[in-house]
A and B are shown apart, each in its own frame.
Chain A
């Protein structure tokens, strides 16, 4: 019952973006995947959700290999991916964006209940429920993107830079919500972040990726105190 990646290699055209990566996230834990621009964080996340195809290696989720399964089918196995840059459909209303997350379950009643759950987590979305998503602020869009993922009733949540372009205060809120959701819904979370400090503070596990390979991994608290991590990624 965990996410397990073994010896994964992913090519991005001719470039080897992910090189022989192995990692494991136990159920119910929040892992922060940090690293500089171009380290391969997004590529790794997209391989996990079926958006791109690894050239080598294995991925297993709940003791089942998920390699080669398309993204639209992985949702049905409890994997929800919030892609980079506020992954909402701007032309659709807030309600429609949320409904989208539950659309594959084909159950309007369950979908309505899930919307209530999401609105109780993000009351702001409730106030704007009939508005188009492109009228929302950056923070609200990120809430909507996470809300859409929650609508799928995931067990594994993959988040790609939710803090991108948000004001510090909003970032703090979003991070706190991610932590709370992990506990209350017993989610397994892989959080990709440039904001290394913010991510490590809420995470159980920290993984540092550099040039496509895992360079350090361990308890998040230990990583914050690690002098090498501090100088390279935390900036002090």
Chain B
């Protein structure tokens, strides 16, 4: 029973990491930037969600509010900051470093802004169902109705995303612009706007990751939340495992990471909570720096 429990918890946490990884992959594919501000954007979106929960009392209204908020924030960042940055640092070592430093700085700015608006203390987002574990044959599991709901919602979202990417013209434009921007332009695609759209999608996906990370944890939100730092690191690791370029890779990367952490915590020591993800990242970078999926094998979606 403990084995199944460990697997289910791992998959749930992993599905949230996968969402975060998807948002990082979307940004990487559209503008070749590792967006460390993604955690800040997810945090800000979750605060929007918190406002909506307080106002309407429903998590299911708050979630789309957070997603729309996240998409808008991402759109603004791309249009104002990233476009300028790409324009002014086109060559040399600065071009590689500047966006990373900029997104790190932005993370700080967003956290400080959130702290100015909502104060330093915790606020609480209440999930739609209980996070008390299921009871099977008299034993209480850590796996709860809330975790089950998170898992299902994430799966539905991924299904929607994959339909968008595989079956629609917008998805085709997003993929073509990522893989071959010049051919995309010659085909009449307005690549600049497609990039912005990639950021917006990433913002919405990251918002869901933020909301779920909050309610899957202790339900509280604060500007310097350690949960969001972990979300950033885990999302990044999952994206790297998946090869940074691949959406299916990001999903599998997230699930693998979630499972590994879950097993380490359950069978080795719960005290390794903050160390395990970093050790896994180092292992991946040592053994397969190009990601488990390699550069091209899984670039399809």
Contacts and interface: CB of A to CB of B under 8 A. Distances in A.
B34 to A, nearest CB: 21
A99 B179 CA distance: 15
Contact of B183 (A70, A100, A104, A132): A100
Contacts, number: 71
Contact of A75 (B176, B182, B186): B186
Interface string B165-209: 000010011011001101111111111000000000000000000
Interface residues of A, number: 28
A197 to B, nearest CB: 28
A104 B299 contact: no
B9 to A, nearest CB: 35
Contacts of A81: 186
Contacts of B88: none
Given A88-B183, A89-B176, A91-B175, A103 B300 contact: no
B contact residues, range:
20 to 34
A49 B188 CA distance: 11
B188 A75 contact: yes
A90 B188 contact: no
Interface of B is mostly: helix
B179 A49 contact: no
B183 A83 contact: yes
Of residues B169, B184, B188, which shows the largest number of chain A Cβ atoms within 10 Å of its Cβ? B188
A174 B296 CA distance: 29
Contact of B172 (A51, A73, A96, A132): A96
Contacts of A101: 187
A99 B169 CA distance: 9
Nearest to B193: A72
B172 A87 contact: no
A99 B296 CA distance: 22
Contact of B187 (A73, A90, A132, A148): A148
Given A89-B176, A106-B169, A100 B184 contact: yes
A93 B180 CA distance: 14
A91 B183 contact: no
A153 B259 CA distance: 51
A80 B191 CA distance: 17
Contact of A100 (B172, B191, B296, B300): B172
Nearest to B173: A103
A24 to B, nearest CB: 23
A124 interface: no
11 contacts: A49-B186, A51-B185, A70-B185, A71-B186, A76-B188, A83-B183, A90-B179, A90-B296, A103-B189, A132-B300, A134-B296
Q: Shortest 7 CB-CB distances between A and B: which pairs? A: A104-B188, A75-B188, A89-B180, A100-B187, A71-B185, A72-B185, A91-B299
Given A76-B188, A89-B183, A100-B184, 10 more contacts: A49-B186, A72-B189, A72-B190, A73-B188, A75-B187, A91-B175, A91-B299, A100-B172, A103-B172, A148-B183
